[in-house]
Copies of this chain bind each other. A is one copy, B any other.
Amino acid sequence: MADQLPSTPKLDELEKGKWPSFVTEIKMAAKRSPMAADLLGQLEQSYREKIGYWKHGGIVGVMGYGGGVIGRYSALPKEYPGISHFHTMRINQPAGWFYTSDSLRKICDIWEKHGSGLTNMHGSTGDIILLGCRTEELEPVFDELQKIDFDIGGSGSDLRTPSCCCGMARCEWACYDTMALTHDLTMHYQDELHRPAFPYKFKFKMSGCPNDCVASIARSDLSIIGIWRDEIQIDKAAVTEYAEKGMDIQSDVVNNCPGKCINWDGKEITIDDSFCRHCMHCINVMPKALRPGKDRGAMLLIGSKAPIIEGAFLSSILVPFIKIEPPYTELKDLVDKIWDLWCEEGKNRERVGEFIQRVGLSAFLDEIEVEPIPEMVAHPRENPYVFYEDYEDDDEDDK
């Protein structure tokens, strides 16, 4: 079938060079799938004419689900009939993106049969992205996915597919079990994930420590980041070992500490943990010698998102420390309160971070019954526009 591939002089340029080529991937798929072949053709035209040829998506889906499928149609269906429909299915990945070859092959088989044979491993939110499907194939795909126990992820104004770093599975710094929490929350909130009922999307991301390997502080409405609150564990012998092997502990470690709380006397490291800002740098540089403390849990931060519409946000501290242990009741209670309030009072297409900034953090805290604490702010207010609580009436003025 190779001779059926369209001529793609522009795209062929993208098969050169050492980085794995997506064009090569599409060509591989195109050997079997006319959808992929037409994708090649349309893409070549885009490359020639410097513009995309996709129509604004319509609503398509799978029975019983309100999301998880992104409708997509070519703007040039006559020229490229194979991609007249080219929908995306978002499939909820297993926590931490771990697989067996067996499970992956089963997905491939389904996708060979019903779709374009193209995927994203993974989408930017974390889903397995099955790229390119006709409307009538959506149900059959889902049918087969059921059999291998893979379910659909989020899209639209719902909970989006939660994701997490590999955490305890592969990393020594995980301050809580990111994969366990991710799986639990995903299961617990299946309805919210599958049936859009929020003002807008909502994302959870879990990182095991402040290195934040899933970028949760930048990309999730609720960022759950592992942290400790006791002393950094120091292995003195290992410190000596690093020094002997030539590490310049003063300049590499001490001088880079934002808390300015590490002392190195040429022999021993001491840390004034009461000034430690939990940045991870010293631990990152000396993983053999330093480890997070033993009293571990997570920090909850709220509100990050991409720029539309109020500008991009980073998440900000909501709860500085919380123990993360099944059944995670405290966390879930808090999430429920936040959602109740936001669903009640949030505007259409208003992310929770935007909602908080609109109503004010204090008012938000008040409603979800969380006490304000100084850890939530970089500094107290600089402007004098204070909404003081109730004033006293003159009548009471009998002093």
Contacts and interface: CB of A to CB of B under 8 A. Distances in A.
A307 B307 CA distance: 28
Contacts of A213: none
A311 interface: yes
A383 interface: yes
Nearest to A381: B311
Nearest to A255: B260
Nearest to A310: B383
Secondary structure type dominating chain A contacts: loop
A384 interface: yes
A98 interface: no
Contacts of A383: 307, 311-312
Contacts of A385: 307, 311
A260 to B, nearest CB: 10
Nearest to A309: B385
Interface size class of A (residues with CB under 8 A): under 10
Contacts of A307: 383-385
Contacts of A311: 382-383, 385
Contacts of A384: 307
Interface string A307-322: 1000110000000000
Interface string A385-399: 100000000000000
A384 B382 CA distance: 27
Contacts of A382: 311-312
Interface string A288-314: 000000000000000000010001100
A247 B75 CA distance: 76
A384 B307 CA distance: 8
A383 B307 CA distance: 7
A25 B134 CA distance: 90
Nearest to A50: B399
Interface string A357-385: 00000000000000000000000001111
A327 B365 CA distance: 58
Nearest to A383: B311
Nearest to A384: B307
A250 to B, nearest CB: 14
Contacts of A312: 382-383
Interface of A: 307, 311-312, 382-385
7 contacts: A307-B383, A307-B384, A307-B385, A311-B382, A311-B385, A312-B382, A312-B383
Pairs of residues from A and B, 8 with the lowest C-beta to C-beta distance, nearest first: A311-B383, A307-B383, A307-B384, A312-B383, A312-B382, A307-B385, A311-B382, A311-B385
Given A307-B385, A311-B385, A312-B382, 5 more contacts: A307-B383, A307-B384, A311-B382, A311-B383, A312-B383
